[in-house]
Structure 1
Amino acid sequence: MDDWLQRVLEVLSSSSTHLEDNFDKVQSILWAIWTGRNKAVFQAESPNPVQTIRKIQGLYMDTATRREGNRDNRTGVSLDEGNRGRTREVTKWKPPEPEFTKCNVDASWDKQTHLGSSGIILRDSEGKFLTGVACKQRSPSPLTSEALALRDGMILAGNLGITMMVFESDCLTLIDACKKKKFVGEICNIVLDILSLGRNFDHCEFSWTPREGNKIAHLVASKAAGNSLPVGWCTTLPRYLALAIQADTPRRS
């Protein structure tokens, strides 16, 4: 085992791809196999290769998203002796270019019920809230829930006749799959749908943002999961949501 792992690490170190990304993959694989082994030994659960693969994908997605978020958020100066007291800039929602509409999507997933709850928010280039959707649907994983939310957002924008769109999510694996046309196993068919829907727009762009830049969609998804969104919320915004959008909208310079 030690020789095998040492060989893997040597190969990864000499790879032309990003070293941190490679180690993230190995870490996710080993942890998923280890936890699966423990469940088999101590809880008498039969090994399930499909669940193990989904576990690996979920772990890697979470690790990659956190790492990318850390890179994007390195806008402040570290608190060393010469910079103590300076605060790091907070990532906020970024408005699209004029004439464009941005659709932010997010999803939560309940491991017990396998229900995904999505939040979809459309805003214009000035940050004005246009409309939104929150829904629940069965899903086998968090990644699938994120992909379904993005597809639903595209369907919503298409039904409204909007032609210049930016679709944004904090799920790096999903956005990477859409931008690079990479077909990740469990969301392969959904990504195909997404790419097909994208051809219906005059301009369709996929954008990744850290969680801090996706607060409103995340808030709506969380409220949907807790069944706490009032009826007609997207027509008459609840006060907490209106205030959140106001705080999330960058001020004009």
Structure 2
Amino acid sequence: MANQIWSLAPFSSRLNTGSISSTREGISMVNKLICLPPSGIGEGPLSPWILWSIWTTRNQLLFSKKVIPATEAMTIGIVRAREWQASQRSIPIKSSPPRVPTQTLVDDLTLRIYSDAAWKEDGKAGLGWIVKTQQDHVVLAGSLAVSHVRSPLVAEALATLAAVKVAIESAFTNVYFASDSLNLVKAINSELPHKELHGILHDILSLSSIFAFCSFNFTPRNLNRQADALAKEVLGACNEP
């Protein structure tokens, strides 16, 4: 299914998925592909939206038993890419940073995304995230309710994965991810298989390779109260009759 979707992409050259040996290599390759007119994408990115469309199409099949054709999945990706492009036109263009940025510059440009999860034994979970600048100004915040979550650790991992997706969809390039789950942060940074988290760690690491700079860090619970409140609020709402 993924191969069918990629084959429909309006790129100047076709992606040879058979030559890709790893997810990181694949992401690097698709980010270099150039869109052809009249897709309306211009010089903006399309590959992140194709990845997003493949992921959501997969979820629709797994959780809702809904089959979305490859042509429709590609159309959705193109539409989302166009919407993102349109939203960027209202953002003033700033001067480009030096080609080899110093660590100070990276720190100045880095956004902090705090994520947290609330979990109940019935398998429902609330995921919350909040994006802040280095000056502690809130850029955006969001939450999501999910079900069939087997443990609090899995819920924390899903919250971090949601934060990574938000960062990609928002076109952030330098991101500092923060979670108050020390076990999760250790699992991500070790890049080793974790039986309970299954493919979630793989998705986090694969998608995060898109960023110019990112790190996954532990933060004390008292500094993560806003994301925690968002997660508890959405969990409480989904449990209301």
The answer for the alignment partner of 1:158 in structure 2 is: 168
The two structures have a TM-score, normalised by structure 1, of 0.50
Contact 1:168 1:208 in 2 (8 A): yes
Give the corresponding residue for 1:174.
Answer: 184
How far did residue 187 of structure 1 move? 0.6
2:223 to 196, 213, 228: 213
Which of the pair has more CA radius of gyration?
Answer: 1
Give per-residue Cα distances to partners, 1:175-225, cap 9 Å, x unaligned: 001111122211131000000011000001001011112111111111112
Counterpart in 2 of 1:93?
Answer: none
The answer for the alignment partner of 1:128 in structure 2 is 137
Query: Which residue matches 1:196?
Result: 206
1:91-112 CA-partner distances (Å, limit 9, x unpaired): xxxxx9311101100001011x
1:117 aligns with 2:126: yes
Question: Identity of paired residues, percent?
Answer: 28
Structure 1 segment 238-249 matched on structure 2, within 5 A = none
Cα distance in 2 for residues equivalent to 1:203 and 1:167: 11
Q: Is residue 234 of structure 2 the alignment partner of residue 224 of structure 1?
A: yes
Q: Which residue is equivalent to 1:186?
A: 196
Could you list the runs of 4 or more consecutive aligned residues of structure 1 that deviate by over 6 angstroms after TM superposition? none
Separation in 1, partners of 2:179, 2:146: 18
**Distance across 2 between alignment mates of 1:210 and 1:129:** 19
Query: How far apart are residue 162 of structure 1 and its match?
Result: 0.4
Contact 1:114 1:140 in 2 (8 A): yes
8 A contact 1:176–1:182 mirrored in 2? no
Q: Which amino acid aligns with 2:126?
A: S
The structural deviation recorded for 1:170 is 0.4
Deviations 1:204-247 (A, max 9, x none): 1001011112111111111112229xxxxxxxxxxxxxxxxxxx
| Equivalent residue letter for 1:131 | L
CA distance in 2, matches of 1:182, 1:133: 29
User: Deviations along 1:41-99, whole A, 9 cap, x unmatched?
Assistant: xxxxxxxxxxxxxxxxxxxxxxxxxxxxxxxxxxxxxxxxxxxxxxxxxxxxxxx9311
Gaps of 5+ in 1: 1-95, 229-253
Amino acid at match of 1:203: F
> Is residue 113 of structure 2 the alignment partner of residue 103 of structure 1?
yes
RMSD: 1.5
Separation (CA, whole Å) in 1 of partners of 2:153 and 2:125: 10
TM-score with structure 2 length normalisation? 0.53
Deviations 1:95-148 (A, max 9, x none): x9311101100001011x210101111111111111111111111111111101
Unaligned runs of 5+ in 2: 1-105
Amino acid at match of 2:134: S
- Cα distance in 2 between the residues matched to 1:194 and 1:119: 16
Q: What are the superposed Cα offsets for residues 5-50 of structure 1, whole Å, 9 maximum, x if unpaired? A: xxxxxxxxxxxxxxxxxxxxxxxxxxxxxxxxxxxxxxxxxxxxxx
Residue from 150, 156, 164 that aligns with 1:140: 150
